[in-house]
Copies of this chain bind each other. A is one copy, B any other.
Amino acid sequence: MSTTNVAFVSAQVLANEDLGADCRLLRLAVEPELDTSAVRPGQFVMVRGPWAHHPMLPRPFSVLDTADGQLEILVKVVGRGTTLIAGLHRGASVTVLGPLGRPFPPPTPGVRDLLAGGGAGIPPLYLHALRAPAGSAVELLYGGRSAADLVLVDRFAAARLSWHCCTEDGSAGSKGRVTDLLEAQLDFPGDQRVLACGPTPMLKAVASLCEARGVACWISLETEMACGIGICRGCSVAHPEGGWRCTCTDGPVFEAGEVVL
């Protein structure tokens, strides 16, 4: 890992917007020591609020977007830590460590990027699409159980991204899972890659689809983390040839064959 541009800073909550589906969008003003322009899509930050020892550990969140001195993250409430972070008021102080981890590979001229994500797995894909140089071929495939889960569609539209969505109950987009969308897109004749982020079963399905079609596939993993910077060895995932990879420093983005899901 190159930690040279990692900073540990205190940050202020500038806004906390309810996106529905237990998701909130937090905009954070970070101190200048954290160079937001250095953040690459797929990277994450460790965030901790002003509470005492419980929870004690910070929580990892992908960077959704950056602006000068500001970071946005999408927080889906799943447990105690995310409940507290999602409940932070405007003006609250948090600490932010980042940017961390290996980003998605940047768009390559002539290669189409298919970005497959669901629920809280969408932020790094959104940033990848947003940052793709003009003329890149990037398609966002966004799935959820129902329309309410697709919390970022307004942003997609506002940013004029190219995207397709699907829901399990058919309430928005096509009916089905994001892997169905992906399968349909994989018939595309030219060079392409898949970048995916979401729950592990989805990543497994995506990876095996890609393997079957011989399409390069990158996935962003989520594991519990203590440090986020490679010192605790708590975030290990198995490598197919034995040994471990650290999700926080070798990942969170891995090529599908690099890890055992």
Which A residues lie at the B interface, using CB under 8 A?
A: 51-55, 80, 89
Contacts and interface: CB of A to CB of B under 8 A. Distances in A.
Q: Which 4 A-B pairs have the closest CB atoms?
A: A52-B54, A53-B54, A54-B54, A51-B51
Nearest to A89: B89
Interface SS majority for chain A: loop
A137 to B, nearest CB: 47
9 contacts: A51-B51, A51-B52, A52-B54, A52-B55, A52-B80, A53-B53, A53-B54, A54-B54, A89-B89
A57 to B, nearest CB: 13
A53 B54 CA distance: 6
A52 B54 CA distance: 6
Nearest to A83: B52
A51 B54 CA distance: 9
Nearest to A87: B50
A53 B53 CA distance: 8
A136 B85 CA distance: 53
